[in-house]
């Protein structure tokens, strides 16, 4: 057994230091259990205290979810909104055209007075209209009358009942690319093929 004569260190609860009867050595005595030992008892770990400490450390490390300051919110609200794209000036006045429309499976409404369900592809629509355009150009002086006749028979637009005549309209009335071609034609002029969400068009300006 070891019997140190140095000064005792702090002990766990209920443990005290006692001297032997001849006062030459000291030993450790537990007043609660009556246990005695020459070796210093190990300290008792407070598990709950350790858990509380660990929880406090974790909480301190969590990033704070602070709401943005009022002045920051105010700055965000002042950010300029994206402006709408300006497509440039539009021509004034009105034009009168007639057209032949060929719808296809990618059209916004692939159905017409001719076919309840249109199954042609956009490529097929282009081919059919190119053939009609060739026929109209070959008509020479009879081009307008040939266009009207073909529009009545071939166009998928309800305007076929009026020989393809769309009447007078302003630039913004139609799809932009349709209007750009229509307003750019000379009276009696025939366009190249024009694509819109409705389908593929062939346009002839009347007035």
Tell me the domains of the chain and their CATH numbers.
1-56 (2.20.70.10), 94-205 (3.10.50.40)
- Render pLDDT for 188-199 as a digit per residue (tens, 0 to 9): 999 999 999 999
pLDDT at 1: 41
Q: How confident is the model at residue 31 (pLDDT cuts 50, 70, 90)?
A: confident
- Render pLDDT for 101-117 as a digit per residue (tens, 0 to 9): 999 999 999 999 999 99
Residue 18: beta bridge partners? 27
DSSP category for residue 33? T
d(CA 153, CA 113): 11
To 10 degrees, what angle do helices 143-154 and 122-138 make? 150
Q: How confident is the model at residue 172 (pLDDT cuts 50, 70, 90)?
A: very high
d(CA 173, CA 180): 11
- Alpha helices (H) along 37-191: 47-61, 70-77, 122-138, 143-154, 176-184
Q: Taking a C-beta distance cutoff of 8 angstroms, is the pair 164, 152 a contact?
A: yes
Q: Could you tell me the two tokens for 164?
A: 């393809």
Q: Taking a C-beta distance cutoff of 8 angstroms, is the pair 161, 114 a contact?
A: no
Q: How confident is the model at residue 54 (pLDDT cuts 50, 70, 90)?
A: low
Q: Could you tell me the two tokens for 192?
A: 């190249």
Quickly tell me which residue has 């150009």 as its tokens: 137
């Amino acid at each position: 057994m070891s019997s140190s004569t140095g000064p005792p260190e702090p002990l766990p609860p209920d443990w005290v230091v006692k001297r032997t009867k001849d006062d030459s050595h000291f030993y450790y005595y537990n007043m609660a259990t009556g246990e005695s030992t020459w070796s210093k008892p190990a300290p008792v770990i407070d598990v709950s205290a350790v858990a509380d400490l660990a929880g406090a450390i974790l909480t301190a490390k969590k990033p704070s979810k602070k709401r943005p300051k009022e002045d920051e919110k105010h700055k965000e609200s002042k950010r300029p909104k994206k402006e709408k794209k300006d497509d440039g000036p539009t021509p004034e006045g009105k034009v009168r055209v007639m057209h032949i429309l060929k719808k296809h499976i990618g059209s916004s409404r692939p159905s017409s007075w001719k076919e309840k369900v249109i199954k042609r592809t956009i490529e097929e629509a282009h081919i059919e209209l190119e053939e009609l355009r060739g026929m109209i150009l070959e008509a020479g002086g009879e081009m307008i009358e040939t266009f009207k006749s073909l529009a009545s028979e071939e166009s998928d637009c309800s305007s076929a009942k009026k020989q393809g005549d769309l009447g007078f309209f302003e630039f913004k009335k139609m799809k932009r690319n349709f209007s750009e071609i229509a307003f750019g034609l000379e009276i009696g002029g025939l366009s190249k093929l024009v694509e819109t969400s409705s389908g593929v068009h062939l346009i002839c300006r009347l007035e």
